[in-house]
Amino acid sequence: MADQRRAGLIQVDVNGEQQDAKGAFTYNLGRPKREAIVGSDGVHGYKETPQVAFIEGAVTDRSTLDLDALVTVRDATVTLQLANGKRILLANAWYAGEGTVSTEEGEIGVRFEGGSADEVT
């Protein structure tokens, strides 16, 4: 029987440096968003608007993490390795989060944005 794992363990790398990923991450490949154009006589078609590609979640702070370097990163390669074997690759990315750290669990919210992302299986 084929591997049935669909979710769970993930890995996040920024410029090849593995981060301590925490919790749920979300991502968007940055493909155009389609929305219906509706007239009084029915659907006329659709329009496309751009979306930003992103990888977003939280990482845990550690003594060797350079927070300043993380929150000022630009032109980076960010990868999100999923439990199902897929890898999301966001090239030419920049940090787009706030850089706020919660001391209760050492949690840093992270958001990386770029022009587009690719899904590699």
The architecture of the domain spanning 11-120 is: Beta Barrel (2.40)
- What is the pLDDT at residue 2? 59
Region at 30 (left for phi over 0; alpha for psi -120 to 50; beta for the rest): left
Considering the entire predicted model, what is its pTM?
Answer: 0.86
> So where are the chain's domains?
11-120
Instruction: Please compute the mean of the pLDDT values over residues 78-93 and round it to a whole number.
Output: 91
Per-residue confidence (pLDDT) for residue 5, from 0 to 100: 55
Quick check: 49 pLDDT over 80?
yes
Whole-number average pLDDT of the chain: 90
- 84 confidence band (pLDDT: 50, 70, 90): confident
The answer to whether the beta carbons of residues 116 and 77 sit under 8 Å apart is no
Q: What pLDDT score does 32 carry?
A: 95
